[in-house]
Amino acid sequence: MVVAELKLGSIILPRSESPHAVSRLAEFEWFHKIETENDIVTPEIDDLLLRAQKSYQTIDDVVKGLQIPPQVGLMEILFKGTVIKKKQYELDEIQTMIASIEQKSPHTIDKPAKLLEDAAATRKSIDEYSTIKETFDVVKKLSVDIEGLGLMKYFYTNLFVIGSDKFAEISRSLEGITIYRYELETKDKVAVIVIADVADADKVLKVFRAFNSNPFIIPHELPQIPSHAYSLIVSKLGELTQKQKKLEAEILVTKKSIRGDILSLHENAFLAKEILETLRKPGGTKRFAVIQGYIPKKMEGKFKDVTKQWMSITEDIRDPKMLQNRPTLFDNKRWIRTFEVITKSQGIPKRGEADPTPMIALMWPIFYGIMFADLGHGLLLMGFGLIFKLKGQGTLSRWGMLIAISGAAAAVSGVGAGEMFGFHIDQLEPFEKILEGPLHPISWLVGIITVAELTFDQVITILKVSIFLGIIHLVWAFILRIKKLHREGHKMVMFTEAIPNLTLYGGIVVVMMCAIGSGYDVTNMYSRVHTEAVPWVTIFLGDWAQVWIITRISIIVVIASMAVMMVGGILHTKHHPEEGGSAANVVMEVFLGKTVECLSHTISYARIGIMLLVHAALLLTVNNSFASMGGFSSPAGIAMIVGGNIGIMMIEGLIVYIQSLRLHLYEFFTKWYDGGAQPFKQVVPELLYNQLIWKKK
């Protein structure tokens, strides 16, 4: 069983002791809380949560301000080798954890917070002065003191900047009012000083506003002569720019020095907040709390041990609603867990649904290895994967392991293909001696599935292997669908659709094998003259399984399967008229849809061999070009062999990954898998920068 069996765990305790229970459940980790409708407040938990949220928000603001990524990136690992090791964090209660965060955070974040505050203030000042400078660019040479301009006792005077082409029209609109014109550096703008009677002040403002112009005002803290103000602004911008550069350099140094510490602190604050938010509303009464959740059955003993100071109960899940809503917890072996990322992309297995991860763990390396078969490329890919596995964090580490396994599979298949960077392994000097010496008894394995020469026989052989793998994969999917229908009680569908679909597929596949065995004499392969062996079939059934008899049996199986499926489909449409089906639709779907589907899905697996052929053809092209350019004695030849192999690895590696994923998600999953269950959410999520060590009491 690769999905863990769950039990119901409950704790009954005085509500005032809830924070201690939260600590014990955090120590236990594997507790998925059942949400209950309860409005009773637990002040002890709410107070702790408020403190945790405040600490987290303060630290998070600094982390975001410093632009520290939550995880070390792929390129940083690859080119800088950056690794942030986990810190061991000892604690006994969630309260002490929050107190520790509150104590440590000022030492870590006060300096960068002050730097960020200064940097923000400096940027704001630069923006303000830059905006003023843009305004002053047109009047920077105007030596007029405008401090006394504005509304006076008898006169109204003010400075305006307008378009040169608007001056004449404004002059006509303000006829009788004194206007002085000043030419500016830019030819399309002019400055005008207006001197008018107080009674005409509103008229002047209305006219200039009609032309989108307002009185030119210099901020009070600056000299009121535009040319002097401009000089001061330029000087101030220079000072602020230098200050900004200095602050950015200090921030960069600080960011590097505290990165590990602040990420560890940030994660701890987030952890405390998440734990308290998850468990903040236990059920029960005003004075007694009841905390219920799902726990793994195999950890029942540990649960009782950590909660022994209160009334602790574990029981089987019998309530239908709880059974329906229970989460799914994977329980795969360590190396199989690597492939859970692919299963999760299609959803978590539902209750009673088989976990496809072990099947993926078996078939993925085979598919990827054959399509990318090359000892050199596989070892390099495995090396890259191990770097990410060992130095990466969280999801990146898991994907690194998947890449490493894929690379190892490609390296093993590369031995079978007899290729290393496109060269024959048995012709390379170091390997030639080893294969003729100590490894001679197994040297026959080298090149057993070679396609290096791209001959017809080699192509047919690898395509046969690809189709055979596809048949295994698809038959497994059909069987899983039958098991699923049987478990769910849909026996009518199982006997009239799922099982006949499997036999139909098997019959069509065997007919295809008979066609190959008869030398593609499709029209006469049922004749007794075709006594040839049927590929794969004769191996399993014995010498009696010749083309002519197996063809006849297979055709009978195909016709019988189609008949059963048609009858089942017609009965289904009669019992479910609301679906709008008809007998004609059923016949057409079975006769054309199901048969074509069986053929197309099987042929789809030919891509395994085709990708290997493409890989071999590309390497053959690169190696021929390398030889024609003079080999290792020529810089151009070296550039060709190195660049060509890097290009093939990058492009082919990605394409092969996509094709492997497609064969699982489209060909395999769609036959039987639903997914969509709720994942098991443990109290303590995966930690990247801390390792919690709970003190023994």
Q: Among 483, 488, 516, which Cα is nearest to 502's? A: 483
Q: Is 214 left (phi over 0), alpha (psi -120 to 50) or beta?
A: beta
Q: How far is CA 343 from CA 11, 340, 356, 663, in A?
A: 34, 5, 7, 13
Residue 49 has pLDDT above 70, yes or no: yes
pLDDT at 148: 63
Higher pLDDT, 153 or 306: 306
Quick: pLDDT tens for 364-392: 999 999 999 999 999 999 999 999 898 88
Q: Which two tokens stand for residue 498?
A: 């799922």
Q: Which two tokens stand for residue 436?
A: 């003729």
Q: How far apart are CA 635 and CA 148, in angstroms?
A: 78
Quick: pLDDT tens for 99-110: 999 999 999 999
User: HSE (CB half, 13 Å, CA atoms) of 66?
Assistant: 31
Residue found by looking up tokens 């050199």 in the block: 376
Residue 594 burial by CB count (10 A; 0-12/13-18/19+): exposed, middle or buried?
A: buried
pLDDT at 72: 86
Residue found by looking up tokens 């830019």 in the block: 186
Residue 288 burial by CB count (10 A; 0-12/13-18/19+): exposed, middle or buried?
A: middle
Higher pLDDT, 518 or 433: 518
In the DSSP assignment, the letter for residue 520 is S
User: Among the listed ranges 45-49, 416-420, 458-462, 666-670, which one has the minimum average pLDDT value?
Assistant: 458-462
pLDDT at 300: 93
First to last CA, the chain: 35
Question: For 397-425, what is the mean pLDDT?
Answer: 90
Q: How far is CA 163 from CA 172, 176, 192, 210, in A?
A: 15, 21, 10, 13
Residue 444 has pLDDT above 70, yes or no: no
pLDDT at 535: 84
Residue 153 has pLDDT above 60, yes or no: yes
Q: How far apart are CA 346 and CA 675, in angstroms?
A: 6
Q: How far apart are CA 505 and CA 594, in angstroms?
A: 9
Q: How far is CA 124 from CA 66, 132, 221, 246, in A?
A: 17, 13, 17, 16
pLDDT confidence bin for 608, thresholds 50/70/90? very high
Between the CA atoms of 213, 214, 216 and 221, what dihedral angle is there, to the nearest 10 degrees?
-140
Angle at 27 between CA 25 and CA 30, to 5 degrees: 65
pLDDT confidence bin for 647, thresholds 50/70/90? very high
Query: Can you give 338-396 as a three-state secondary structure string?
Result: CCHHHHHHCCECCCCCCCCHHHHHHHHHHHHHHHCCCHHHHHHHHHHHHHHHHHCCHHH
Q: Cα dihedral sign for 60, 63, 65, 68?
A: negative
Question: For 149-161, what is the mean pLDDT?
Answer: 77
Residue 320 has pLDDT above 60, yes or no: yes
Angle at 502 between CA 498 and CA 504, to 5 degrees: 110
Q: Tell me if the pTM is above 0.85.
A: no
Residue found by looking up tokens 């945790």 in the block: 52
Residue 145 has pLDDT above 80, yes or no: no
Q: Which domains can be identified in the chain, with CATH numbers?
A: 6-111+249-325 (no CATH), 147-217 (3.30.70.2750)
Quick: pLDDT tens for 457-468: 888 888 888 988
Q: How far is CA 188 from CA 67, 178, 230, 549, in A?
A: 44, 22, 20, 97
Quick: pLDDT tens for 243-261: 999 999 999 999 999 999 9
Whether residue 328 contacts residue 677, with contact meaning beta carbons closer than 8 Å, is answered with: yes
User: HSE (CB half, 13 Å, CA atoms) of 569?
Assistant: 23
Quick: pLDDT tens for 420-431: 888 888 777 777
Angle at 468 between CA 464 and CA 471, to 5 degrees: 140
Residue 139 has pLDDT above 80, yes or no: no
Whether residue 542 contacts residue 533, with contact meaning beta carbons closer than 8 Å, is answered with: no
pLDDT at 283: 85
Residue 278 has pLDDT above 60, yes or no: yes
Strand partners for 314: 9
pLDDT at 131: 67
pLDDT confidence bin for 474, thresholds 50/70/90? very high
pLDDT at 500: 93
The per-residue pLDDT of the chain, averaged, comes to 87
Residue 84 has pLDDT above 90, yes or no: no
pLDDT at 185: 67
Quick: pLDDT tens for 563-596: 999 998 888 888 777 776 777 888 888 887 888 8
Helices (H) and strands (E) in the chain, counts: 24, 13
628-638 burial: b if 16+ Cβ within 10 Å, else e? ebeeeeeeebe
Strand partners for 283: 290
Q: How far apart are CA 506 and CA 475, in angstroms?
A: 8
In the DSSP assignment, the letter for residue 498 is I
pLDDT at 120: 93
Residue 209 has pLDDT above 80, yes or no: yes
